[in-house]
Structure 1
């Protein structure tokens, strides 16, 4: 391998100045709009989705079109910037459809090519932030596990953010359809994660606009789910970082035997171990984002590694947050339960850890005997 080839193959795991500025802007907005009392109140209501927050984030900050080229009304940014946004969404457990609409649905449409007027028009609408889309497949489906139905019939469940989407992207054996959400029956479900609504979508032979044929639909859907799985790791990283930060802060202030409980060696070791896991999770998530951004042939492997590892770290961090907060961590008044539920639901979203480990074994030719 030449020096130039080796340099090109080395992923950039560091944050650029522009990414740091983007993080600061998104964090400031979310801190102002998703304080603990309002987040808890909205999660316990019948409408956890926050349309005003999405208008601010997606339309006014133009983040809905982050992955969309400038000629189509977007920002022309990359998956690296989208990963930064998702880190902050995870840190705030913000109830917005960035992952499902601005990443997965948008990536699918871009994979189809925008020569078709129907596709380019929909991409522009999503990039504006005034409309959102959701992919009608079970939220647990990974990049390699989607099974396409024959026609626009039947019920698909659970579909993330379907209850709040304006357009539903329905992959079938005939091709990919865009269906107006008002034309289908969407039944809200009770999710574990109260900040990400799930629903059952009943199609019953509705009409839709055919965006792509059977030859291009599977690859486009796989690309969208691959990007979603790879960038979901960044959301999980944000969850884990918030949990560790809050736990360290609390254990410094909470006293027992006239000493901060954080000074006890056993708790120090637990938090130090968690910090090491989060550092590794950050490397895995950044590697996946960089691979997706550069179109690296290693993107499927990077996404699978990131998802298999970051899912576990997010759950561990949330569990430690609940336990090390003691009695207050077990109450509904403290937001720790929202982070644990988001982490647990994300653990089986877009492919389970076992599914991603199986993909890793296949990709590196280390299949089980």
Structure 2
């Protein structure tokens, strides 16, 4: 199999990196964090309306490009390198695929088309009270009423919520199973709360539901039929989050290389010290292995098959650990300045560690792989979500 990039894929990567270098550089990132911006509107318009990236995996009939996970991985790696302050992952990788997988034609036109056009921003509420993507432990509950359904409870750790005007809520019904609800914000009975998060470049929120009236039009697709589609969406998201983690690790290496070639001690640049060279070599080895793992994951998703979810979990577990190691090493090699708020190193460290809980911890994904291979009879579930 030829896994080299096509000319079109090279152009995707180059165009995204070129745009982000101009519009999402260190100064823009620092300003967004200091201002507490959930997203930069001008950057969002560029990513969606100018570059058309949200719809990269959406069908052409909807205004998308009809491409695959590998193409989207090029975008996510670049976004990871820049920590771009925009709810792109939440909209393009989580919400939009869920709508496309479950939505009726009228619902796709109503909710998905505006996402592809960059006219709306959306998030997917799928985490339990501990922040895990455990679809069997959700607090959002549906009950049947004479006119439809009622939604109560909470959705916690909702990434991208502060910047979203459409939220897709995964809710449980005691008899019917899992359903996906589309709720434009604001909505009667829905309270959106901002909550402190580890990563200021990926803000999170919490939703509280108090006797929210739910009609058949609010349920994406058929009631109680969302489980399989959501598993597939989260598997694809895992493979793409692995690509983002590679971008985070690469940025840590790039900023560290630039620093050690300028910083001097004892009359020499610290990059000439053997211990520093060894640490940098470890980072390079981590990143190269992670890039291969991420490629394995997205290729498995594009090809489909019964082991695609396990491949995505394997790639994500590897890449998350690599990103954490590289982010920690970057702070160490920057010395005292690496521990300061003014330096960007802490933002990459926080993204690396927050990613390690976003779609399930690496340990949970390794358990999923082990269970698929028949190696771990004690694994709590055959799926990491």
Which residue number in structure 1 is paired with residue 293 of structure 2?
Answer: 284
Which residue number in structure 2 is paired with residue 273 of structure 1?
Answer: 282
Which residue number in structure 2 is paired with residue 295 of structure 1?
Answer: 304
Which residue number in structure 2 is paired with residue 52 of structure 1?
Answer: 42
Deviations 1:39-66 (A, max 9, x none): 1121122324112211110122111111
**1:146: Cα distance to partner?**
5.8
Which residue number in structure 2 is paired with residue 158 of structure 1?
Answer: 157
Secondary structure class of the residue paired with 1:107: helix
1:188 lines up with 2:177 in the alignment: no
Residues 143 and 222, structure 1, Cα contact 8 Å, conserved in 2: no
**1:324: Cα distance to partner?**
0.3
Decide whether aligned partners of structure 1 residues 63 and 201 sit closer, same or farther in structure 2, where only a CA change above 3 A counts. same
Q: How many residues align?
A: 358
Decide whether aligned partners of structure 1 residues 256 and 281 sit closer, same or farther in structure 2, where only a CA change above 3 A counts. same
Q: Distance in 1 between matches of 2:278 and 2:88?
A: 36
Deviations 1:92-113 (A, max 9, x none): 011111111111111112222x
Kindly report which structure 2 residues correspond to 1:1-369, keeping only aligned pairs within 5 A, or say none.
13-112=3-102, 115-138=104-127, 140-142=131-133, 147=138, 149-151=140-142, 152-174=151-173, 175-183=179-187, 184-208=190-214, 209-367=218-376
More displaced, 201-210 or 358-367?
201-210
Over the residues paired in the alignment, what is the CA RMSD in angstroms? 1.8
Decide whether aligned partners of structure 1 residues 17 and 290 sit closer, same or farther in structure 2, where only a CA change above 3 A counts. same
**1:292: Cα distance to partner?**
1.4
Decide whether aligned partners of structure 1 residues 66 and 146 sit closer, same or farther in structure 2, where only a CA change above 3 A counts. farther
Q: Distance in 2 between matches of 1:239 and 1:366?
A: 31
Q: Distance in 2 between matches of 1:331 and 1:148?
A: 38
**1:300: Cα distance to partner?**
0.7
Gaps of 5+ in 2: 143-150, 174-178, 379-385
Residues 53 and 96, structure 1, Cα contact 8 Å, conserved in 2: yes
Q: Distance in 2 between matches of 1:333 and 1:232?
A: 27
Q: Distance in 2 between matches of 1:296 and 1:254?
A: 50
TM-score under structure 2 normalisation? 0.88
Which residue number in structure 2 is paired with residue 6 of structure 1?
Answer: none
Deviations 1:272-318 (A, max 9, x none): 11111111100111111111122233211111111111111111111
Gaps of 5+ in 1: 1-9
**1:366: Cα distance to partner?**
0.8
Residues 93 and 237, structure 2, Cα contact 8 Å, conserved in 1: yes
- Bigger strand share: 2
Residues 168 and 180, structure 2, Cα contact 8 Å, conserved in 1: yes
TM-score under structure 1 normalisation? 0.92
Which residue number in structure 1 is paired with residue 176 of structure 2?
Answer: none
Residues 347 and 353, structure 1, Cα contact 8 Å, conserved in 2: yes
Deviations 1:253-275 (A, max 9, x none): 21211122111111111111111
Deviations 1:84-134 (A, max 9, x none): 11001100011111111111111112222x543113432211111111211
Residues 100 and 135, structure 1, Cα contact 8 Å, conserved in 2: yes
Decide whether aligned partners of structure 1 residues 234 and 145 sit closer, same or farther in structure 2, where only a CA change above 3 A counts. farther
Higher relative contact order (CA 8 A, sep 6+): 1
Residues 143 and 225, structure 1, Cα contact 8 Å, conserved in 2: no
> Which 4+ stretches in 1 moved above 4 angstroms?
143-146
Decide whether aligned partners of structure 1 residues 293 and 247 sit closer, same or farther in structure 2, where only a CA change above 3 A counts. same
Q: Distance in 2 between matches of 1:137 and 1:297?
A: 23
Q: Distance in 1 between matches of 2:274 and 2:81?
A: 27
Q: Distance in 2 between matches of 1:131 and 1:198?
A: 18
More displaced, 85-94 or 174-183?
174-183
Q: Distance in 1 between matches of 2:7 and 2:284?
A: 24
Residues 107 and 227, structure 1, Cα contact 8 Å, conserved in 2: no
Q: Distance in 2 between matches of 1:332 and 1:293?
A: 40
Residues 284 and 310, structure 1, Cα contact 8 Å, conserved in 2: yes
